[in-house]
Amino acid sequence: MVADALENLELIAQSTRDFAQKHIRPHVREWDETQAFPAETFHRLGELGLMGVLVPELYGGAGLNYAAYVTAIVELSKVDGAVGLSMAAHNSLCTNHILQFANEEQKHEYLPKLASGAWIGAWGLTEPNTGLDAGNMRTVAVPDGDHWVLNGSKNFITHGKSGHVAVVIARTGPPNTRDNATAFVIERGTPGFSAGKKEDKLGMRASETTELIFQDCRVHKSQMLGKVGEGFKQALTILDGGRISIAALSLGIAQGAYEAALQYAKERQQFGRPIADFQAIQFKLADMATEIEVARLLTYHAADLKDRKLPVSKASAMAKYYASEVSVKVANEAVQIFGGYGYTKDFPVEKYYRDAKLCTIGEGTSEIQKIVIGREILR
């Protein structure tokens, strides 16, 4: 049984690797420089089953587990972190929120479109003035007959412009009170719902990030996910799984940077021999390889707990925290090994360097992960 599971993971890794080499690698620099969101590539990922990895076959998904999901993200992110990020946000946040908290009618309406890649999903929690202080969010939903009227804005939203549907958390009670937020699923084109400014980012530039703006946006009560007041609790559950995906993203970026540095160290000649022969470089590579392996073990451990439906808050926070910091460190060392060439866009490691930093910030900063871990170990 274990052998079969490992074989399945290798098949997923190989098919994703082949896809990335054919459909992503030739365009990485172009997408990064133009900040173009490659929507067609995500439609193709849907055909491969990677836009609904966790979605049961009943709803048109691949019906795979978190270990398979982690494997796919790692392979995509080794080639382009921006593609890995967008694939993870679509699966872990929007699609998974609907999968876990929607009613059957909503699931049958949205999951087949999202799992096939025909539709791209967005997820809105963060706001300009309430990044971590979600209980004080300014986006408000007020009941009006059979509808809710939303006003406010969200920022740093992946696929905020190109997404066909968004899961949005809005405040439906007084600020800073319990159970004061509710989740809604809102389609693009709904009157009063629009995308705002697109962010000009340091890295992950092919992964679109924009504002979501709500101006007297009327949403029918049938678009509510779960019950009134459950929104923030739902969001915390989603983020537990989302942290695993960011750990996988971090792992892929680190692995990509390490492999590039390792290959370069074998080829680059100084004083008549490869720089890999020098102990200074060997020590760097040894540290990189060891820390990547620890990050891998933490990430797959969290995925295993998630698959077995065991508590995962501590493990996912540990995996996200450690893997993201390792990603930044490994990318930095990769640039150092490349030397001056590593600082140019003709070589791949400068992009890993830029992309990696987002991993320590998105879906909860490293400091927030430490808070989560601290609370869990002191229970």
Catalytic amino acids? 363
Residues 181, 232 contacting (CB under 8 angstroms):
yes
Helices (H), the chain: 2-19, 28-34, 39-48, 66-79, 81-88, 96-101, 104-116, 231-267, 279-307, 313-338, 349-359, 366-377
Q: Is 245 left (phi over 0), alpha (psi -120 to 50) or beta?
A: alpha
In this structure, the number of other CB atoms found within 10 A of the CB of residue 226 comes to 16
- What is the spatial distance between Cα 12 and Cα 71, in angstroms, rounded to a whole number? 7
Tell me how far apart the alpha carbons of residues 1 and 245 are, in angstroms, rounded to a whole number: 25
Could you say which DSSP state residue 36 is in? -
Contact indicator for 232, 169 with CB cutoff of 8 Å: yes
CA distance 213 to 27: 31
Token code pair at residue 135: 């209980």
